[in-house]
Amino acid sequence: MCNKVDVVHVPDGFLDAPTSVATGVLAAGTVALALRKAREELDERTAPLAGLTAAFVFAVQMMNFPVGAGTSGHLIGGALTAVLVGPWTAVLCMTVVLLVQAVLFADGGLTALGTNVTLMALVAVGVGYGLFRLLVAVLPRTRTGFLIGAGVGAFASVPLAALAFVALFAAGGVADISLGAVAATMGGIHVLIGLGEAAITVVVLGAVLAARPDLVHGAAHLRSADALLRRPEVVAPR
Amino acid sequence: MTSRRRTTGFLLVGLLVALVVAGIGSYYASSSPDGLEWSAEKEGFLDTAEDSATADSPLADYSVSGVDDGRLSGGLAGVIGVAVTLVLAGGITLLVRRRHDTADEHADADAGPPPTSRS
């Protein structure tokens, strides 16, 4: 068997049943809330972009990149998606990606689906978008400030999602091993993977911002600041 | 009208990029264990992983069962994944989206102009 592509999300078995049920409930609640909140982010123009963004994240998650020491990493895409189409829509997009991967491609366990949604649709999106918002509020209202905010958010989202996994492992890990060691190993390698996450996020957002700044959810402040305003007719009414 | 056409063009370019990445690029992805798998092996809990209930899926592990050529099998699996994700995510977001324009039209139609003449 030659498995060129080996994206690994949390498989079945790592976490005990109560922990998996708890993350399942948390994930379901988050998705239910997102289904209501995403309405405010989606209109005729942005809904197709959201579908495309999910498909794009699925594709790029297949592209494992080497991070040295015989290890690889892949994009999560939580920060990228949230900045592009809005955080609640990003929860839905990421959940669809994880669902398709788990059901069709056996990537990430079925009983671990709630865990993977919690880590990548909730923690990665929340951390990535939260940090992005924080940074664009204090950075200059420019294209560069926007990309720095998105890049830092994307970077931090990866080790923090990894540490969230360690927290779940502490609560319900099946194996009896040193948590400090797991945290150091998971956190360390995911700092490196986070650099790749930031690079991909900045390149993609830079390209979309150059082509269609009016479609980028997180760039509304640039449009109102007149920095990128070239198509006054498509600016959303306030 | 032109604005809508421009958006459609932009979306098609994005879809093309996704299809190329999943269908062709993925063959060149690193096959080293990813961060989680590597950590689990290093810390000694990788063996607690269990096979997914979908491990026998015809698309399991991003290859199409019955297609022997690795490049074709992985590429096909990627293209199918992109298509299914697009339809599912696009379907959900289209259902959830606001439809202010149509809502306003209905509101106007319901209110209607008052009848002005009776013959």
Span A91-140, pLDDT tens digits: 999 999 999 999 999 999 999 999 999 999 999 999 999 999 999 999 99
| Mean pLDDT to the nearest integer, B76-90 | 98
Residue-level pLDDT at A4: 40
| Residue B115: Cβ within 10 Å count | 6
Query: Does the distance separating the beta carbons of B52 and A14 come in below 8 Å?
Result: no
Residue-level pLDDT at B13: 96
Query: Does the distance separating the beta carbons of B35 and A110 come in below 8 Å?
Result: no
* CB nearest to A14's CB, from B18, B48, B97: B48
**What are the structural domains of chain A?**
17-229 (1.10.1760.20)
Span B13-48, pLDDT tens digits: 999 999 999 999 999 999 899 999 999 999 999 999
Query: Does the distance separating the beta carbons of B97 and A104 come in below 8 Å?
Result: no
Above 90 in pLDDT, residue A6? no
Q: Is the dihedral of CA B85, B89, B90, B91 positive or negative?
A: positive
Give the residue from chain B lying closest to A93, CA to CA.
B89
Window 13-52 of B: residues touching A by CB (8 A cutoff) are 14-15, 17-19, 21-22, 25-27, 29-40, 42-45, 48-52
Q: Where does the pLDDT of residue B101 fall: very low under 50, low under 70, confident under 90, or very high at 90 and above?
A: low
Query: Does the distance separating the beta carbons of B53 and A92 come in below 8 Å?
Result: no
Residue-level pLDDT at B110: 43
d(CA A72, CA B82): 22
Query: Does the distance separating the beta carbons of A72 and B35 come in below 8 Å?
Result: yes
Above 80 in pLDDT, residue A232? no
Q: Where does the pLDDT of residue B108 fall: very low under 50, low under 70, confident under 90, or very high at 90 and above?
A: very low
d(CA B113, CA A223): 39
Q: What is the DSSP string of chain A?
A: ---S-----PPBTSB-HHHHHHHHHHHHHHHHHHHHHGGGT--TTHHHHHHHHHHHHHHHHT--EEEETTEEE----HHHHHHHH-HHHHHHHHHHHHHHHHHHH--S-STTHHHHIIIIIIIHHHHHHHHHHHHHHHS-SSHHHHHHHHHHHHHHHHHHHHHHHHHHHHHHBSS---HHHHHHHHHHHHHHHHHHHHHHHHHHHHHHHHH-GGG-GGGHHHHHTTSS---GGGSPP-
A-to-B residue pairs, Cβ atoms closer than 8 angstroms: 269
Q: Are A85 and A41 in contact (CB under 8 A)?
A: yes
Window 80-99 of B: residues touching A by CB (8 A cutoff) are 80-94, 96-99
Residue-level pLDDT at A8: 73
d(CA A118, CA A26): 7
Find which of A44, A57, A209, A212 to mutate to test the B interface (most B CBs within 10 Å of its CB): A44
| Mean pLDDT to the nearest integer, A63-68 | 93
Query: Does the distance separating the beta carbons of A5 and B29 come in below 8 Å?
Result: yes
Query: Does the distance separating the beta carbons of B78 and A4 come in below 8 Å?
Result: no
Residue-level pLDDT at B3: 75
Residue-level pLDDT at B4: 77
Span A170-218, pLDDT tens digits: 999 888 888 999 999 999 999 999 999 999 999 999 999 999 999 999 9
Mean pLDDT is lowest, of A108-112, A234-238, B96-100, for A234-238
Residue-level pLDDT at B107: 43
Residue B22 or A6, more confident: B22
Residue A236 or A89, more confident: A89
Q: How far is CA A198 from CA A122, A156, A162, A191, A213, in A?
A: 18, 9, 15, 11, 19
Q: What is the DSSP string of chain B?
A: -HHHHHHHHHHHHHHHHHHHHHHTGGGGS--S-BHHHHHHHHHT-GGG-B--TTTTSTTGGG--TT---HHHHHHHHHHHHHHHHHHHHHHHHHHHS--HHHHHHHHHHHH-PPP----
